[in-house]
Amino acid sequence: MKQVDLVIIGGGPAGMAAAVAARENGLEDILIIERDNALGGILRQCIHNGFGLHRFGEELTGPEYAARYETEVEALGIPYLLNTIVTAITPDRVVTAMNSEDGVFSVQAKAIVLAMGCRERSRGALNIPGNRPAGVYSAGAAQKFVNMKGYLPGRKVVILGSGDIGLIMARRMTLEGAEVQAVCEVMPYSGGLQRNIQQCLKDFDIPLYLSHTVTEIHGKERVTGVTVSKVDEQRRPVAGSEMYFACNTLLLSVGLIPENELTKGADIPLDPITGGALVDESRQTATEGIFACGNVLHVHDLVDYVSEEAALAGKAAADYVLAGAAGDSPRRVIAAGAVRYTVPQTIRRTDKDVTVYFRVGSPCTAATVRVTCGDVELLKKKKPKMAPGEMESVTLKADKLIACSGDITVSVEV
């Protein structure tokens, strides 16, 4: 079996940033395996701008952002395979993949970085009643048709879900001459970035119906309309609140799911909230030598944070291969109060600062973020406004981490 020091599964922003960081930290023998026909991942179809403000201090489009990393990967001479799909990984780090030239093959890796990204939740997962005509697309599939294939999936559009891709597609379809009649969101708030609500909906006078959902899809062959209903606090449709929109297209932007089938196949424990692996601060999973980063770990709001996280994972993977396992027994990071989850979920090393990312479960104002360890308060800060659509973070100082022992609790109180 072929031996490789580090196999990175996925050549999107996470995979590329992990590869670059691993090489910069001294690791020579790296292989990126990408299933598509080019590096770049989902950024290739995100032709809008707004990427890279944090990472590069300028506004880039998705393909431009991806190209920055692709150039680095090329310049560093990091090998990659395209059109190659990983079909299985094992806990002892055998990676099985397949492509047209090599057929099915296996590689023994010393370390693996999981960077497979996420997929969109489908109509079926929502059990939307009605017919099953053509014209119902996930926002990402529509984005691929419009931005990469040059085709418009429809002209009269309703969008269900106010996730970022849905918001971006509302604007994109409008610019292409389609009429976006409504964006419906089952929650009382949007799951997307505030800036996208402004720039993609408000600037184009597209109405956003909060606490509304699609309760029936009409049309036998192609969508002819949708029924939209108000929902109560349990998200059940309210009888009598139905509105009918004549349209030929329904786009869904109803959530992203980390694509962890390979991870599950290797029995790597997952966090039921994030849908990604449980990791420590270096983004090592509970299985030694296997790391995870990017949207396969937890869905990020900005790609800049994906790159940042992937660099951590890439460096840690390089350190693991070159210096072996490091770190003490893990301390748990516990989400409390309005905090829905944290990444990482454990902390091993306390000799350096650790940034903990988290999201709140519902919008809050005048909130206090508090990090405690037993009776010791490690950090406290005020936040005027927090929303589930935006990722938050706290950085825990190494000296404070050393000074206490036991589980660490991150809470938001309002």
Please identify which residue in the block is written with the tokens 């030239």: 101
Interface positions, 170-189, toward other proteins (CB under 8 A): 176-177
List the x/- string, 110-129, binding to other proteins by CB under 8 A.
---------xx-xxxxxx-x
Kindly tell me which of 130 and 289 has the beta carbon lying closer to other proteins: 130
- Closest approach of other proteins to the CB of residue 226, in Å: 12
Rg over CA atoms, the chain? 22
User: Is residue 233 within the footprint of other proteins (CB under 8 A)?
Assistant: no
With CB under 8 A as the rule, give the number of residues binding other proteins: 53
- Closest approach of other proteins to the CB of residue 287, in Å: 19
| Per-position DSSP letters for 104-150, written without gaps between them | EEEEEEEEEEE---EEEPPHHHHT--B---B-EEEHHHHHHIIIII-
Maximum separation of any 2 CA atoms in the chain, in Å: 66
Please identify which residue in the block is written with the tokens 């109509």: 123
User: Is residue 98 within the footprint of other proteins (CB under 8 A)?
Assistant: yes
**Rounded to whole angstroms, how far apart are CA atoms 88 and 81?**
16
| One residue of 130, 191, 289, 337 binding other proteins per CB under 8 A | 130
Kindly tell me which of 96 and 181 has the beta carbon lying closer to other proteins: 96
User: Is residue 133 within the footprint of other proteins (CB under 8 A)?
Assistant: yes
- Closest approach of other proteins to the CB of residue 217, in Å: 8
- Closest approach of other proteins to the CB of residue 47, in Å: 11
Kindly tell me which of 54 and 264 has the beta carbon lying closer to other proteins: 264
3-state secondary structure of 157: strand
Interface positions, 335-364, toward other proteins (CB under 8 A): none
Residue-level length of the chain: 414
List the x/- string, 141-170, binding to other proteins by CB under 8 A.
x--xxx-xxxxxxxx---------------
Among residues 83, 100, 110, 98, which one has the least CA distance to residue 27?
Answer: 110
User: Is residue 101 within the footprint of other proteins (CB under 8 A)?
Assistant: yes
Candidate segments 135-143, 194-202, 296-304, 323-331, binder of other proteins by CB under 8 A: 135-143
3-state secondary structure of 18: helix
| One residue of 104, 205, 240, 375 binding other proteins per CB under 8 A | 104
Structure tokens at 337: 């109060």
**Rounded to whole angstroms, how far apart are CA atoms 115 and 258?**
10
Task: Count CB atoms within 10 A of the CB of residue 252.
Answer: 26
Is there a contact between 136 and 223 (Cβ–Cβ < 8 Å)?
Answer: yes
User: Is residue 222 within the footprint of other proteins (CB under 8 A)?
Assistant: yes
- Closest approach of other proteins to the CB of residue 165, in Å: 11
Is there a contact between 301 and 387 (Cβ–Cβ < 8 Å)?
Answer: no
- Closest approach of other proteins to the CB of residue 225, in Å: 13
List the x/- string, 56-95, binding to other proteins by CB under 8 A.
---------------------------x-x-x--------
User: Is residue 246 within the footprint of other proteins (CB under 8 A)?
Assistant: no
Q: Per residue in 98-109, is it b (16+ CB within 10 Å) or e — as a string?
A: eeeeeeeeebeb
Is there a contact between 332 and 341 (Cβ–Cβ < 8 Å)?
Answer: no
Q: Facing residues of 365 across strands?
A: 385
118-120 and 103-114 strand pairing = unpaired
Candidate segments 137-145, 340-348, 378-386, 399-407, binder of other proteins by CB under 8 A: 137-145
Residues within the interface to other proteins (CB under 8 A):
35, 83, 85, 87, 96, 98-104, 119-120, 122-127, 129-134, 137-138, 140-141, 144-146, 148-155, 176-177, 215-216, 220-222, 237, 248-249, 261, 264
